[in-house]
Chains A and B, each alone.
Chain A
Amino acid sequence: MGMQRFSGFALARQTLSGHAGWGRQWRSPEPKAAYDAVIIGGGGHGLATAFHLARDHGLRHIAVLEKAWVGGGNTGRNTTIIRSNYLFDASARLYDHAVKLWEQLSQTLNYNVMFSQRGVLMLAHNVHDVQSFKRHVHANRLNGVDNEWLSAEEAQEFCPPLRIDGGMRYPVLGAALQRRAGTARHDAVAWGYARAADALGVDIIENCAVTGIVRNTQGAVEAVETTRGRIATPKIGVVAAGNTSVVMGMAGVRMPLESYPLQALVSEPVKPVFPCVVMSNTIHAYISQSDKGELVIGAGTDAYISYSQRGALHISSHTLEAICELFPQFRRMRMLRNWGGIVDVTPDRSPIIAKTPVQGLYVNCGWGTGGFKATPGSGHLFAWTMAKDEPHEINAPFTIERFRDGRLIDEAAAAAVAH
């Protein structure tokens, strides 16, 4: 269709005309009366789902309904960390599937998502951490996921700002390093998927909140009610992150989810000082440096469920104390902005990508505090599940029914904290 391809040649040609010829990257269509499939939620996961439905499964009449603007929810609020060093077989397959898609994503979308495999270093601060991370390293290697153990000195060599002397309350005893892990530019992921999906004919409808899900006499879905009118459809994919319980409630389905605020913050921009991503689960600190120069810092969740998209100051203060202890050179840096996103958390901290008890209703949720990393894989697998009405083998374990059958994928116990 009419997508303007980005290339060196296109850039040179636009330069000659003063960059006045760049068009809109996606249309802003009015909603139609009916679609073959409707995606609720215009974040990265929802847009990726629409892209794969259109490209891989031949659906042409697809709408993505977004209550506000594309990428304005958790896609634009996370710390952009991408990794796949999860403990359990099912999780390692799921997240590494995404990493493999990340490695091609800029070419797939013809959009620079600035995927940077700069390495993620996970710090061990006590004997339990050391044993747990070494177990992760071995489990990952058996699953074909790269991960290696570094001594404290090797970790400092990889990340020179890291403090490893013994004077800290939580000394660094070593670290697990996944070299294929890294970061990407979060906004570009949403925009790149929106542009590519739009080019395949997907209608991306912003400022359109879903207010109801209509079911027929057999119980199957037949339409959504929205603030921009009723839209008929036989297939609905709910990809609403923190608001999943609310949207699923419109179809009468109760979910094993709770929604918590998760905070992040960025510093003033500085010259390149930080070469990788460092995470410490034990003392709740996640840090990397964006290409704009800001330190991007992730904190923990608030203790209570909330939809406020704010977080308490004592949570971010706690994280900054940890950052200053680990990286004393950052003690005088000023923070520019902080914000919260609402993350939907399952009891086992693994996602749900699945059919539901309602015919025609599908759900992709429960990514908790770490959904951004899975965006391309999540969209690919959820589109498969919606198109074929059965899961792909990679997402087959990630059902809702696992909470009835007791087949949990207990990454919560494996990591002991938010991850």
Chain B
Amino acid sequence: MLLIPCPYCGPRPELEFAYAGEAGIVRPANAAALDDDAWGAFLYQRSNPRGPHDERWRHLHGCARFFNARRDTVTDVFAATWKVGEAAP
């Protein structure tokens, strides 16, 4: 089980959190103008890297807030977490 450093509450066990997928995927402002390739890519393509990964978590059973994290997907070590709206370190 991971120990996840919530930027609002501090380190808490993984069971308190919900994983919310890759970070930084922005819904296109004018979706109707997109072609099918771009819309399909937005919906379904993911980086899925072997190494550092920027991702979202939600501290569901704590402060209930979303935040961003950078975790290494080989070691599962968290390098950083930061609040929504803050710049990535």
Contact = CB atoms under 8 A, between A and B. Distances in A.
A is bound by B:
yes
B27 interface: no
Contacts, number: 67
A308 interface: yes
Contacts of A404: 36-37, 39-40
B44 A256 contact: yes
A305 interface: yes
Residue in B18, B44, B46 with the greatest tally of chain A CB atoms within 10 Å = B44
B76 A308 contact: yes
Contacts of A314: 1, 14-15
A258 B37 CA distance: 19
Interface in B37-61: 37, 39-41, 43-50, 53, 55
Contacts of B2: 304, 312
B1 A305 contact: no
Interface residues of A, number: 23
Contacts of B19: 303-304
A255 B41 CA distance: 9
A375 B40 CA distance: 29
Contact of B41 (A243, A254, A259, A304): A254
A245 interface: yes
Given A256-B40, A256-B44, A257-B48, 19 more contacts: A245-B47, A245-B49, A254-B41, A255-B46, A256-B46, A257-B46, A258-B48, A259-B48, A303-B19, A304-B19, A305-B53, A307-B50, A308-B76, A312-B14, A344-B48, A403-B40, A404-B36, A404-B37, A404-B40
Interface of B: 1-2, 14-15, 18-19, 21, 36-37, 39-41, 43-50, 53, 55, 71, 73-76
11 contacts: A246-B49, A246-B50, A254-B47, A255-B45, A257-B46, A259-B73, A304-B55, A304-B71, A312-B14, A347-B44, A403-B43
